[in-house]
Amino acid sequence: MAHYAYLDENNIVTQVIVGRDEDDLVEGVTDWEVYYNAKRCSYNTYGGQHSLGGTPFRKNYPGIGYSYDADRDAFIPPQPYASWVLDEDTCLWEAPVAYPEDGNMYQWNEEAGAWEEVDLAEAS
């Protein structure tokens, strides 16, 4: 089964559904994308990579609130923080500072422009 992302007039995803494959169209419908203002998407695509080794499709599997960029032919998640920059290859947002790779948990502090360690003892 194919997956489709419904878009509003600003190309923002409003719904993602499981639909019919293109070779199994409803009578009178010749193109799902045009008829339903939807774009086909791949459940197995993230950051421009296909998790099963197949061909990646439209950079990312979308969720509600993602945007569709026609120039990139890609789904892009909402920008999480103003300082984060879009990676053109993956169409994912990246922090201006790399996430620490020391095995601890961190959260982004936009005001400080830095990752802050999460104290799991305080969080519980």
pTM: predicted TM-score of the whole model, two decimal places: 0.83
Per-residue pLDDT tens over the stretch 92-116: 999 999 999 999 999 999 999 999 9
In the chain, where the domains are located? 1-78, 80-124
pLDDT of residue 38: 87
Task: Return the exposure string of 51-86: e unless at least 16 CB atoms fall within 10 Å of the residue's CB, then b.
Answer: eeeeebbbbbbbeeebbbeeeeebbbbeeeeeeeeb
DSSP conformational letter for 42: -
Q: Please report which confidence band the pLDDT of residue 20 belongs to, taking 50, 70 and 90 as the band edges.
A: low
SS3 (DSSP) at 15: strand
| C-beta of residue 74 within 8 angstroms of C-beta of residue 90 | no
Closest CA to 62 of 102, 6, 20: 6
